[in-house]
């Protein structure tokens, strides 16, 4: 009898958890249904720049809800005063951008969200429509004509490892050009052999573009994903 009671309690608990997560999933992702986004013919499409609506919903739920504390804690490490001009490179659905924009709204700071994907740009504009301190730029950083030395801080979060290795140096070079003297790049990338990039490559890319290493740490995001976290400064 006790075993049966325990089973029912565990089952009830599981039902409650699943129901709660389903409600949260809809709460955070239902806006995607109203977006003017072409539905991918393949719901298992693996091209990050042209995801299906289902993929977008899962990404928004995972990054903007389930993993939200990790993003928030990382943004806190940037020590934003509220008066900076910050670039969120490869902003995606905006899990980092929402926290940055909120901090900058306490001062006269501005956030620029840059992404190469029209689909993700549509998503982030919808998610962060209530903020008036965000600029949105769609395009390839290596081909855009962005003013030199305008950003105090640049965030690269889980982006560089998905860029072709042959053009990563050009990406960092262009980003460094837009950074003010004394400005910093904050980068966090997965470091697993299966999906990621080694910290040594990050360090070499930064050195090649005259960016001084302030910090490089190895750790785990949400206690599971191995990551490299670096801070680099432009001194000239």
Q: Which residues contact 75 (CB under 8 A, 6 or more apart)?
A: 96, 99, 100, 103, 155
- Relative to beta strand 211-221, strand 225-234 is antiparallel
Q: What's the rounded Cα separation, in Å, for the pair 78 and 111?
A: 13
**H or E segment and range at residue 231:** strand 225-234
Average pLDDT over residues 28-40: 83
Say what the pLDDT of residue 38 is: 65
- Relative to beta strand 134-138, strand 110-115 is parallel
Q: What's the rounded Cα separation, in Å, for the pair 178 and 126?
A: 26
CA distances from 136 to 115, 128, 133 (A): 8, 11, 10
Model pTM above 0.85: yes
Cβ neighbourhood burial of 134 (10 Å; 0-12, 13-18, 19+): buried
Question: Considering the chain, what percentage of its residues have pLDDT values greater than 70?
Answer: 95
Confidence of residue 236 (pLDDT cuts 50, 70, 90): confident
The Cα angle at residue 91 between residues 86 and 97, in degrees rounded to 5: 55
Confidence of residue 39 (pLDDT cuts 50, 70, 90): low
Confidence of residue 125 (pLDDT cuts 50, 70, 90): very high
Query: Given a cut of 60, is residue 136 above it in pLDDT?
Result: yes
Give tens-digit pLDDT for 141-192.
Answer: 999 999 999 999 999 999 999 999 999 999 999 999 999 999 999 999 999 9
Confidence of residue 44 (pLDDT cuts 50, 70, 90): very low
Confidence of residue 45 (pLDDT cuts 50, 70, 90): very low
Count the neighbouring beta carbons within 10 Å of the beta carbon of residue 46.
8
Say what the pLDDT of residue 47 is: 55
Say what the pLDDT of residue 43 is: 43
pLDDT mean across residues, the chain: 93
Query: Given a cut of 90, is residue 91 above it in pLDDT?
Result: yes
Say what the pLDDT of residue 193 is: 85
Tokens of 186: 């904050």
What is the longest distance spanned by two Cα atoms in the chain? 74
């Amino acid at each position: 009898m006790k075993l049966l009671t325990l089973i029912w309690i565990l089952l009830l608990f599981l039902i409650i958890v699943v129901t709660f997560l389903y409600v949260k999933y809809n709460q955070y992702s239902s806006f995607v249904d109203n977006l003017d986004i072409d539905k991918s013919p393949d719901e298992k499409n693996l091209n990050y720049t042209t995801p299906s609506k289902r993929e977008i919903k899962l990404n928004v739920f995972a990054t903007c809800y389930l993993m939200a504390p990790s993003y928030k804690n990382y943004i806190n490490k940037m020590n934003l005063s509220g008066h900076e001009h910050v670039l969120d490179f490869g902003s995606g659905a905006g899990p980092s951008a929402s926290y940055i924009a909120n901090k900058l709204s306490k001062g006269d700071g501005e956030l620029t969200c840059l992404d190469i994907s029209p689909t993700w740009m549509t998503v982030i504009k919808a998610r962060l429509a209530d903020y008036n301190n965000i600029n949105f730029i769609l395009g390839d950083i290596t081909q855009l004509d962005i003013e030199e030395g305008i950003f105090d801080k640049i965030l690269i979060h889980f982006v560089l490892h998905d860029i072709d290795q042959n053009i990563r140096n050009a990406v960092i070079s262009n980003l460094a050009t837009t950074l003010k003297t004394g400005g910093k790049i904050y980068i966090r990338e997965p470091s697993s052999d299966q999906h990621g990039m080694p910290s040594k490559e990050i360090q070499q890319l930064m050195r090649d573009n005259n960016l001084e290493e302030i910090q490089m740490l190895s750790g785990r995001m949400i206690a599971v994903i191995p990551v490299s976290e670096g801070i680099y400064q432009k001194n000239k």
